[in-house]
Amino acid sequence: MTMPLMKPRRKNPILRTRQMNLPPWGRSRAAMGLTVAAAEGRFELQACQDCGAVQYPPREACHACLSPRLKWQPQSGAGQLLATTTLHHSNDLFFRERLPWRLGLVHLDQGPTLMVHLHGDVGDQPQRVRVGARLDRAGRAVVIAFPESETLNMADDKTLREMTCDPKFRKVLVTDAMTPAGQSMVRAMVKAGADIVWAGHAEPWKRHGSGLDDITALPQVTLVPLDLTNARSVTELAGEIGGKVDIVVNNAEVHRTFGIAARRGTDAARAEMDINYFGLLRLAQEFGPALKGRSADGTTNATAWVNLLSIYALANFPPHGTFSASKAAAHSLSQCLRAEMRPAGIRVVNVFPGPIDDDWNQGMPPPKLTPDSLASAIVKALRDGVEDVYPGDVAQEWLERWRENPKVLERELAAGG
Ligand SMILES: [Zn+2]
């Protein structure tokens, strides 16, 4: 049984912070399908469209009939553990620093046999296990076997924690605590066991009746001044807490409901860009380096960067046209951030919600995403270690339509949905 994680002791400031050595990350193009599915929390393997054989490792042609028609399909992961072994030596620096490390051989019910990492609660063979795919610290999919049913403190397992971004005992910055969504986020982080939550607050003079009193009453929460439109404000806060933050949740956004013709001038669009795009850029320049430097710093290392984007980042929703454009820009920038953070082992999590139940979506018909469900989707994403999240029914439906045909979706949205 996994022992519950204990709060780490205060670090000796004289000791050098360990540098991150990534696990091996080379993968073939064919194998990338495993990573694509794991990034959204699914375990998929290729299945042959001609004979049905399930493949592992990923390949270009079916191992049974040589057909090239292989399709990635979700797998249950149920299987039989055949053998286990414990590594006490490794030539790879990442594993050498984390020894001993257990591996196993699992025969999946669907056919293939896999070499897997083992969750600590998986005992010796023979036993039934459940295999899942997770992203490792290099951002590539690896397979890990879990016990067949849930066990106590499962998330605290040492092997699993290397693959997830669990907020437990970590220090979190939420960039905007003024909105209901931000306040839900702060509460969810405290509930998930965060050690400290810094709650950003752009206008410290506007406090009364804003719901801030509820969250500041929580002992873990500290209000900090942070105005993403002001480079100096971002620099100052980074100087103060940058070296301690383990998870950044950038939820600050400006949302106006205009297309192009509905309004003259560019003021509203600039305000959106200034927070949604340039705000992210300012934040990433100031907080990024410190986060990267602490990605191997003990059990509560710096681990993740969360961006609140929008499903409108994928395709423009004309009634919210300039907002969509600012989120598309932020999405593009977050892909750059992800590429720059990857070598340090920091995960960039992009969240693409549908309309949130807030002031700016009053005119939208339901279903709308409540601030609490948005916050729990983000916490779940961190715990599961996924990097792309589409919370809510609207986002899921848009995603499906966008994947099917982006051009058709564009035309449908132009015609009013
Ligand atoms: Zn086949």
Q: 122-126, 141-145, 372-376: which range is least confident on average? A: 122-126
pLDDT at 222: 93
User: How far, in Å, from the CA of 46 to the mean position of ligand 1?
Assistant: 10
pLDDT at 261: 87
Query: What are the pLDDT digits (tens) for 228-265?
Result: 999 999 999 999 999 999 999 999 999 988 888 888 88
Distance of CA 40 to the CA centre of its chain: 9
Cβ 140 vs Cβ 25: under 8 Å: yes
User: How far, in Å, from the CA of 82 to the mean position of ligand 1?
Assistant: 25
Q: Are strands 44-48 and 54-55 parallel, antiparallel or unpaired?
A: antiparallel
Scanning 342-370, the segments in alpha helix (DSSP H) are none
Select from 198, 224, 220, 185 the least CA-distant residue to 349.
Answer: 185
User: How far, in Å, from the CA of 35 to the mean position of ligand 1?
Assistant: 22
Query: What are the pLDDT digits (tens) for 207-234?
Result: 656 678 888 889 999 999 999 999 999 9
User: How far, in Å, from the CA of 133 to the mean position of ligand 1?
Assistant: 23
Report the SS3 class of residue 24.
coil
Model confidence at 364, in pLDDT bands (50, 70, 90)? confident
d(CA 21, CA 131): 26
User: How far, in Å, from the CA of 55 to the mean position of ligand 1?
Assistant: 9
pLDDT at 208: 59
User: How far, in Å, from the CA of 61 to the mean position of ligand 1?
Assistant: 8
User: How far, in Å, from the CA of 49 to the mean position of ligand 1?
Assistant: 7
User: How far, in Å, from the CA of 50 to the mean position of ligand 1?
Assistant: 5
User: How far, in Å, from the CA of 108 to the mean position of ligand 1?
Assistant: 17
Average confidence (pLDDT) over 334-341: 96
User: How far, in Å, from the CA of 106 to the mean position of ligand 1?
Assistant: 22
Residue type, 117: H
User: How far, in Å, from the CA of 402 to the mean position of ligand 1?
Assistant: 30
Average confidence (pLDDT) over 136-148: 94
pLDDT at 209: 61
User: How far, in Å, from the CA of 47 to the mean position of ligand 1?
Assistant: 8
d(CA 341, CA 337): 6
pLDDT at 382: 96
pLDDT over 80 (residue 361): no
User: How far, in Å, from the CA of 65 to the mean position of ligand 1?
Assistant: 4
**Across all residues in the chain, what is the average pLDDT?**
92
User: How far, in Å, from the CA of 254 to the mean position of ligand 1?
Assistant: 51
What are the φ/ψ torsions at residue 70 (nearest 5 degrees)?
-110, 135
Cβ 247 vs Cβ 306: under 8 Å: yes
pLDDT over 80 (residue 204): no
pLDDT at 10: 76
pLDDT over 70 (residue 417): no
User: How far, in Å, from the CA of 152 to the mean position of ligand 1?
Assistant: 41
Model confidence at 16, in pLDDT bands (50, 70, 90)? confident
pLDDT over 90 (residue 199): yes
User: How far, in Å, from the CA of 67 to the mean position of ligand 1?
Assistant: 5
d(CA 383, CA 373): 15
User: How far, in Å, from the CA of 54 to the mean position of ligand 1?
Assistant: 8
User: How far, in Å, from the CA of 84 to the mean position of ligand 1?
Assistant: 30
Query: What are the pLDDT digits (tens) for 289-323?
Result: 999 998 888 788 889 999 999 999 999 999 999 99
Q: 2-6, 80-84, 100-104, 390-394: which range is least confident on average? A: 2-6
User: How far, in Å, from the CA of 59 to the mean position of ligand 1?
Assistant: 12
User: How far, in Å, from the CA of 323 to the mean position of ligand 1?
Assistant: 47
User: How far, in Å, from the CA of 112 to the mean position of ligand 1?
Assistant: 13
pTM of the predicted structure, to 2 decimals: 0.93
What are the φ/ψ torsions at residue 100 (nearest 5 degrees)?
-75, 155
d(CA 25, CA 39): 15
Give the chain's end-to-end CA distance (angstroms, integer): 50
pLDDT at 258: 84
Q: 17-26, 45-54, 82-91: which range is least confident on average? A: 17-26
Query: What are the pLDDT digits (tens) for 32-45?
Result: 999 999 999 999 99
- Tell me the C-alpha to C-alpha distance, in Å, between residue 8 and each of 5, 12, 301: 9, 11, 11
User: How far, in Å, from the CA of 66 to the mean position of ligand 1?
Assistant: 6
Percent of the chain with pLDDT over 70: 98
User: How far, in Å, from the CA of 111 to the mean position of ligand 1?
Assistant: 13
Cβ 54 vs Cβ 75: under 8 Å: yes
Handedness of CA 304, 306, 311, 317 (dihedral sign): negative
Query: What are the pLDDT digits (tens) for 100-129?
Result: 999 999 999 999 999 999 999 999 989 999
More confident residue, 223 or 16: 223
User: How far, in Å, from the CA of 103 to the mean position of ligand 1?
Assistant: 29
